[in-house]
Structures are given as structure tokens and as C-alpha cells.
Amino acid sequence: MPNTFTLLKDYLYLTEIIIIILFTIEYVLRIFVSDKKISFIFSYYGIIDLIAIIPFYLSLGIDLRSIRIVRFIQIFRVLKLARYRKAIERFHQAFIIVREELILFTISAFILIYISSVGIYYFESEIQPDHFSSIFHSLWWSVITLTTVGYGDVYPVTVGGRIFTSIILFIGIGIVAIPAGLIASALSKVRQEKSDE
């Protein structure tokens, strides 16, 4: 019976094949509908599209373990996102609008991470010296708690540590929500300005 790792590997390989087939169909259709086929093939997007799919087809006939750079070229698939440059430009403008607020918020978040590291260190260092041996070691707990990830690998066991963690968790919800709200508001403003033009 195949193990989970083998099943996951097979699933990812099948997903890659499906994506490559879709990219190939898109590439061929773009050439087919293009008025200037040769110009498209040698254009920026045409070359990126070709670079995104060619390593897969090369891997069918060549052992790419010896030519790992060709496999690395597959990262160029990400550059297909460049087609959405208008959306990227809107994001850029939104970030410019809220730049000062985000800088202030980022600085505040780092200060809060430090304060929470110090706090949890004083509550938990005596009981759990292996996890909270120093303020620096407590940073991991601060980051995963303030970002509300909470892996559960490091957690407080003292009453004071648990109360402190509850407070930090509520603050962490704001740390995630505030930048998202700022960016969403700025994006809405940019879209409104674009539609008014």
C-alpha cells in the first residue's frame, strides 16, 4: 500500500501535468489568434510562456537531474502573472496611499512582538526553560501568537502566562485585521478613481 508521501508526490505530478497542458493550450491558442504570430512568439510574454512550459517537455526525454538549471527555469511560470499588470498597478497605488500607516503599523508590530517576548519570558522561563530560555527564544512564541498561527509547539502552562497569551491573542487579531482593512480601503479608493477617469 503506497504511503502518504508517495500519494502526495503522485498528486503533485498529476497537477503539474494538468497545469502544463493548460499552459500549452493557452500558448498555442495565443499564437493561433495572434495577427503577428512571429512577433508574439518572440515578444516578452511569448518567451515567458515558452520558458514556462519547455522544461516539462524536455524532462520527458532528458534526465534533468544532470541539468537542474532547466528545472529551475520553471519558476518563470510565476512571471505569467505579469499579464495582470493593471491589478498589480492598483495594488502598488493602494500601498502608496497607505504607506505611512503601514510603516507605523509595522514598527508598532515589531515593538509589540518584543514586548510580548519579554512578557512571556518572565511568566514562563522558570517553568519551561527549554522553550523560554531567553527573550530571543521567546520571539518564536510571540510571532506565532501575534500572527494567530498558533502551531501549538510552544504554549504557556502558568496561569499568568495563559492570561498574558489571551491578551496577546486578542491584539494579534487586530494585527492581522488592521493592515487588511487599510489595504482594502485603499484598493477601493484606487478602483473608484480609475472608474471616474
Give the model confidence (pLDDT) of 125-171 as tens digits: 888 888 888 888 888 888 888 877 777 778 888 898 899 988 888 88
Which positions ≥6 away from 170 have C-beta within 8 Å? none
Q: Between residues 75 and 179, which one has the greater pLDDT?
A: 179
Dihedral sign, Cα of residue 33, residue 35, residue 38, residue 43: negative
Q: How far apart are CA 111 and CA 103, in angstroms?
A: 12
pLDDT at 61: 67
pLDDT at 187: 83
Question: Long-range contacts: 155-163, Cβ < 8 Å, 24+?
Answer: 156/120, 156/123, 156/124, 157/124, 157/127, 157/128, 158/123, 158/124, 158/127, 160/123, 161/120, 161/123, 161/124, 161/127
Q: Taking a C-beta distance cutoff of 8 angstroms, is the pair 131, 141 a contact?
A: yes
Domain 98-192 grouped into CATH 1.10.287.70: yes
- Residues comprising the chain, all counted: 197
Mean pLDDT, rounded, for 39-51: 80
Q: Between residues 39 and 59, which one has the greater pLDDT?
A: 39
Q: How far apart are CA 171 and CA 25, in angstroms?
A: 48
* 117 has pLDDT over 60: yes
> How confident is the model over 54-105, as pLDDT tens digits?
877 777 766 655 555 555 655 665 666 666 677 778 888 888 888 888 888 8
Q: What cell does 16 get?
A: 503539474
196 C-beta neighbours (distance < 10 Å), count: 6
The answer to whether the predicted template modeling score (pTM) of the entire model surpasses 0.85 is no
* Distances from the Cα of 69 to the Cα of 55, 60, 65, angstroms: 9, 16, 9
* 28 has pLDDT over 80: yes
Q: Between residues 73 and 4, which one has the greater pLDDT?
A: 4
Q: Taking a C-beta distance cutoff of 8 angstroms, is the pair 20, 53 a contact?
A: yes
Q: What cell does 15 get?
A: 497537477
Structural domain boundaries in the chain: 4-83, 98-192
Mean pLDDT, rounded, for 183-188: 85
